[in-house]
Structure 1
Amino acid sequence: MKQHAVCLTFDFDAMSVMIARDLKSPTPISRGEFGAVAVGRILTLLEKYRLKASWFVPGTIVKTYPDHVRRIVDAGHEVGNHGWTHVPPASLSPQQEEEGLLRANEAIAEIAGRNPRGYRSPSFDLSPVTVGLLLKHGFVYESSMMGHDHHPYFARHNDIVSDHEPIVFGETTNLIEMPVSWSLDDYPHFEFMRTKDFVLPGLQNAGLVLENWVEDFDYMKRTEEWGVLTYTFHPFVSGRGHRMILLERLICSLLERGAHFLTMEEAALEFRARSATSVTGT
């Protein structure tokens, strides 16, 4: 059966992304704080179109804004694990990564009533042990890798990557990868960021970005019988006025094209069911 699905995902990072970059003075903290303002705007928009989304929230932000996370849960949205802080796991020791993963699980479960089923790495930057930790602790899916644009797949671990030799791929696991792309993420298009190490110019024209985002869905629909396209938004980025208009225009454009909106957990479970059917041939 033909189905072209969309996952709207929101990384409610607030000020954690600034703190992870050691930007702790009042102005960068206030930039992140705007994310809490934007949560209500986004929830209102999703309710208008009766859409459910997936929200990934660092544990420190769950604890900083428990009422906001409770509103997300009460509206029927999924809340996924986004680490304890916004420090990428590739920069942590395995012990630090596992401790943060479990601490974030506990913070989410206190509000949502269950452990999260999904994980997204801060900055889309997994460590060599992340997949194994997610399997160990019962996650259904993760959403940080980019090995396809609109097909979920089963994640590998224990790849051997050498500077001078061919890559040796590791074993395929039961963890479902819900792929992402920087091109479908609002942050690099829109957010201006200046640090001592780099400048991210951002501030792109919203209409042109919308054209790209819609045409990615058009391509999936033209070339695939079934697929899932994932968009990544950050409330402190897309919560600004003209970008809220962009988000509504995107939703309307996708609805007009017959998009089927799913949470990431729903899409992952549907992929698993389709994979099982394919294997059994029934």
Structure 2
Amino acid sequence: MPRHIVCLGFDFDTWSGFAARGLTTPSPVSRGEFGVLAAGRILDLLKRHDVPASWYIPGIVIETYKARCEEIVAAGHEVGHHGWTHVSPANLSPEEETDGLIRGIDSIVRLTGRRPAGYRSPAWDISDHTVDLLIEHGFLYESSMMGNDHCPYFVRRGDIIRPDQPAVFGQHTSLIEMPISWSLDDFPHFEFMRTKEHVMPGLMNASLVLENWIADFDYMQQTCDWGVLSYTLHPYVIGRGHRMLALAGLIEALAKRGAVFCTLEAAALEFRDKFARGEIVPYP
């Protein structure tokens, strides 16, 4: 029987992403802090529709906004690892990355009483050491890569990629990749950013973005019997009024199409079981 899974992942960054870019003045901090208010709106919406979700929270955000994070846990949602800070592991030394991973795990254990099953890299970039660290610390899955659109797969390690040579691929691991996409992320569509280096216009019409997001589910439904589509949302982005209406519209439209909503952890476990039974041959 066909089964089409939808995972809503909320990157609860607040101001940590701006701080990682050196933006620590009051205005960007307040822009990120709107996400604390918006998280309450989102929790109410998820409760009304009985939709479980996965929340990826940097350790510094857990330690700053404990009450809101406790509400996320009390509502039954998954809490995944999203770094200690929002600095990409690719920009950290191996020692800094290890320390941040452990500090983030410790924060999640204090919050939830259990170790996180999933990891999502800040800024969706990992280092040459990340995969080994995640396996060492017992993660089931990670969700920072884009090698498929609606089928999980097993992460490789040890790839050798040079600009002037054919690729040499490493070995697959037991770590499950729950793929994501910038096209299914609210930030590039909606957020206006101005720095010394560039301007990111954002501010797109939410109804048009909603059409794209629904169409990706339609394509999955038309082309495979089993799949997982992950949407990535940031409370301070999606939590604005007209975008909340779009999020509600997305949930309602996908529910009418027969979508099964679950956490990324639950979807990863289902994928692992189907692979073990030989029902799925993942790519890449």
Q: Structures share a fold, TM > 0.5? A: yes
Q: What is the RMSD of the two structures over their aligned residues, measured on CA atoms?
A: 1.2
Note the 1:26-41 alignment, pairs <5 A. 26-41=26-41
Equivalent-residue separation in structure 2 for 1:98 and 1:215 (angstroms): 39
1:176 alignment partner in structure 2? 176
Equivalent-residue separation in structure 2 for 1:198 and 1:264 (angstroms): 33
Note the 1:47-66 alignment, pairs <5 A. 47-66=47-66
CA drift at 1:73: 0.3
Task: Return the TM-score normalized by structure 1.
Answer: 0.98
Equivalent-residue separation in structure 2 for 1:189 and 1:279 (angstroms): 36
1:194 has 2:194 as partner = yes
CA drift at 1:95: 1.0
Aligned residues with identical type, % of pairs: 59
1:163 alignment partner in structure 2? 163
Equivalent-residue separation in structure 2 for 1:224 and 1:45 (angstroms): 29
Note the residue ranges of structure 1 that are not aligned, 5 or more in a row: none
Equivalent-residue separation in structure 2 for 1:266 and 1:157 (angstroms): 24
Note the 1:1-282 alignment, pairs <5 A. 1-278=1-278
CA drift at 1:157: 0.7
Partner SS state of residue 278, structure 1: coil
Partner SS state of residue 277, structure 2: helix
Task: Return the TM-score normalized by structure 2.
Answer: 0.98
Amino acid at match of 1:131: V
Note the residue ranges of structure 2 that are not aligned, 5 or more in a row: none
Equivalent-residue separation in structure 1 for 2:279 and 2:208 (angstroms): 41
Count of matched residue positions in the alignment of Structure 1 and Structure 2: 281
Partner SS state of residue 252, structure 1: helix
CA drift at 1:128: 1.1
Amino acid at match of 2:103: R
Equivalent-residue separation in structure 1 for 2:167 and 2:244 (angstroms): 42
CA drift at 1:129: 1.0
Amino acid at match of 1:272: R
Partner SS state of residue 51, structure 2: coil
Amino acid at match of 1:211: E
Equivalent-residue separation in structure 1 for 2:195 and 2:99 (angstroms): 29
Distance 1:279 1:45, change over 3 A: closer
Distance 1:166 1:138, change over 3 A: same
CA drift at 1:279: 7.4
Equivalent-residue separation in structure 1 for 2:31 and 2:250 (angstroms): 24
Equivalent-residue separation in structure 2 for 1:193 and 1:217 (angstroms): 29
Equivalent-residue separation in structure 2 for 1:122 and 1:197 (angstroms): 20
Equivalent-residue separation in structure 2 for 1:253 and 1:246 (angstroms): 10
Equivalent-residue separation in structure 1 for 2:73 and 2:65 (angstroms): 13
Equivalent-residue separation in structure 1 for 2:232 and 2:147 (angstroms): 16
Equivalent-residue separation in structure 1 for 2:114 and 2:161 (angstroms): 36
Query: What are the Cα deviations for residues 50-95 of structure 1, in whole angstroms up to 9, with x where unaligned?
Result: 1100000000000010111100000000000000000000000111
Partner SS state of residue 212, structure 1: helix
CA drift at 1:119: 0.2
Amino acid at match of 1:28: P
Equivalent-residue separation in structure 2 for 1:16 and 1:207 (angstroms): 28
Query: Which stretches of structure 1, 4 residues or longer, exceed 6 Å deviation after superposition?
Result: none
